[in-house]
Amino acid sequence: MSPMCGRYASIKAPADLADEFRAVDVTDGAVQPDYNVAPTKNIVAVVERHPRDAEGVPDPDTTERSLRVLRWGLVPFWSKDAKAGARMINARSETAATKPSFRRALAARRCLLPAEGWFEWQRGENHKQPYYTHYQDGSSLAMAGVWEYWKPEQDPENRYPDGLVTASVLTTAAVGVLAQVHDRMPLVLAPSAWDAWLDPDAGTDAVASLLVPPPAELVAALELRPVSAMVNNVRNNGPELLDPLPPDTLADPLQLDLLAGPNPA
């Protein structure tokens, strides 16, 4: 199947996200509600770092969690140009620790990417039907992510005076009814896992137990619904993208009673 999570919705105001994720908002108005977040767009991320003094020295005894703006599509620190980011919107949780593009970020630069929900496409013989998945109670999804800082060795046109900070969404095997749409899904972390994931002093081994498909109880809290193909065009961006379609209009409706437990594959 094709790679996933390639679109999601990020609608809540940064101030509300800061409250929900217990973070300081430093986005400075740089992002707006987006019903159709696509690769290479600026996105909101939650990161936790040791604050630095005026000389740039980090304080090892203090951490600060903040809401920041990154670009979706990770550019590895060793990349010769920024074009690689468009191809690295996702990182497989099973292999990120060993892939040159992601292993340094997984070890020391993890983040959460808040979302109202994500879009995925069910591919049939003659159709491609988008579905939208979100928490039924309106809580934000916390998609596990990794981020990197990149700055070119040479920048004669001064295109990147401050470098780029970019991110990828980690993915995992889809579970329950979600596997009927696609074999992969974002690695969604429960609130109880946020502190461990964001801990800047925890290495890859410390978070290995989080790199697995979500438990059945988290999936049971999700709602999956078919939506209009308008989301296929990134220029479309409004609340109508989240409106449900009647099941009787679908070429191949999902069997929603299968929402139970992990995908046996």
Residues designated catalytic: 5, 120
Helices (H), strands (E): how many in the chain?
Answer: 5, 13
Cβ count within 10 A of residue 259:
18
Q: How far is CA 140 from CA 6, 11, 77, 114, 189, in A?
A: 18, 10, 30, 6, 11
Residue 180's identity, in one-letter code, is Q
Q: How far is CA 148 from CA 71, 74, 117, 154, in A?
A: 10, 7, 24, 18
Cβ count within 10 A of residue 44:
26
CA angle, residues 173, 105, 42, in degrees to nearest 5: 85
Closest CA to 33 of 263, 214, 239: 239
Q: Rounded to an integer, what distance in angstroms lies between the CA atom of residue 242 and that of residue 231? A: 9
